Amino acid sequence: MTLARSILFAAALVVVTPPYALLALATFPLPPMLRYRVISGWSRVVLFLARTLLGIHWKVEGHEHLPDCPAVILSKHQSAWETLAFQQIFPPQVHVLKRELLWIPFFGWGLALMSPIAIDRSRGVKALRSIARRGRERLEQGFWVVVFPEGTRVAPGESRDYQPGGAWLAAASGAPRSARRRTVFPRAARPAMSRRTALSSRIGSPSRCASFT
């Protein structure tokens, strides 16, 4: 049954994603926030499919810690789930991401219209300055900014060195940091996210970084 559900879910994505990408392209003339609200509907569709076809459910703890102004979200990146679920958990947001993701057909086209902060990681300090400048612009537009400090997806229970981009942006902008600490994956769910499972995610208390100035 697990294989059958996985195949059905994949087939549903193939059916849904291309036409939704065309809808996303049609939002090009709209203001950034309105574009986001239309395009983020795709993630809601995918989460619905994951819940109904795959049996993936979740709960979130710590909603009371969310600040009442746009913030920088520093999060563990443990699966594809959080990139979708964040659009339901948090207010409108943009992601700091590697620019290569925008080159993916259909998915990347829609992603590019959601005002992401796409960076070239090889540029070092110049990339950090780009995050700070463009991040401030997004915060002023009313978006929250999502940063995965470890820089890539890391399996549950493992860790990598944290990169400075998120803290750099929080310090440069004065925005609070809202730390989404982790998602708890049942052991049986770790090899394959297509299995029926329940996830638990926790939001930590916000904090502020000292300014560079």
Residue 58 has pLDDT above 90, yes or no: no
Section 115-138 average pLDDT: 88
DSSP code of residue 73 = E
Region 24-29: mean pLDDT is 93
pLDDT of residue 185: 44
For 142-172, write each residue's pLDDT tens digit: 999 999 988 788 877 788 888 888 888 888 8
Q: What is the DSSP string of 97-144?
A: EEGGGGGSTTHHHHHHTT--EEE-GGGTHHHHHHHHHHHHHHHHTT-E
What pLDDT does residue 181 have? 52
Query: Contact at 8 Å (CB) between 56 and 50?
Result: yes
CB neighbour list of residue 40: distance below 8 Å, 6 or more residues apart: 87, 92, 114
- Delimit the domains of the chain by residue range: 2-203
Overall average pLDDT of the 22-34 stretch: 93
Task: Indicate if the pLDDT at residue 101 is higher than 70.
Answer: yes
CA dist 36 to 61, 117, 195, Å?
Answer: 25, 14, 30
The pLDDT assigned to 154 comes to 82
